Amino acid sequence: FDFIHELTEAYKQSAKMSEELLRSMGREDQIAQINKQNELLIHTLQTLAPSLLIVISIISVFVIQWICFPIIKRFGIKVQPWGHFRNLSLPKSLLWYYLIAIVVRILGHPAEGTYLFTVITNAVYIL
């Protein structure tokens, strides 16, 4: 099951329906612009697919913990409460990774469609 492929196909079908609706309304001058925007959106979605998967996995972990903690407490197992958000400290290496990704993106100008472009784009969005 290719989630990204299914999502892009569903979006393409939706775009075709929108195109037909615009034609029926007599707005044929906007169809080319909308098609260009749709292609850019699909390309961006395919490039950022790894970031999307990471964000979905992080959200699912929080949901699973939110559901499981009350169940575990009912069984009498002591669960450590989460600390305050103000006490949260991320590793300093994340700052360096972000800085490196920004510098490579600005100074390196990786060509669109290359592996480096995909890695840098995803790193910037995740960090």
Taking the chain (127 residues) in runs of 10, the rounded mean pLDDT of each run is: 81 86 80 85 86 93 92 88 85 91 89 88 88
The structure's pTM equals 0.70
List of residues 6+ apart from 48 with CB closer than 8 A: 121, 122, 125
pLDDT at 113: 84
Measured at the CA of 47, the angle between CA 127 and CA 61, to 5 degrees, comes to 50
CA distance 111 to 119: 12
Query: CB-based burial of residue 87 (10 Å sphere; 0-12 exposed, 13-18 middle, 19+ buried)?
Result: exposed
Query: CB-based burial of residue 37 (10 Å sphere; 0-12 exposed, 13-18 middle, 19+ buried)?
Result: exposed
- The encoded tokens of residue 116 equal 């480096």
pLDDT at 57: 95
Domain boundaries in the chain?
A: 1-47
pLDDT at 67: 92
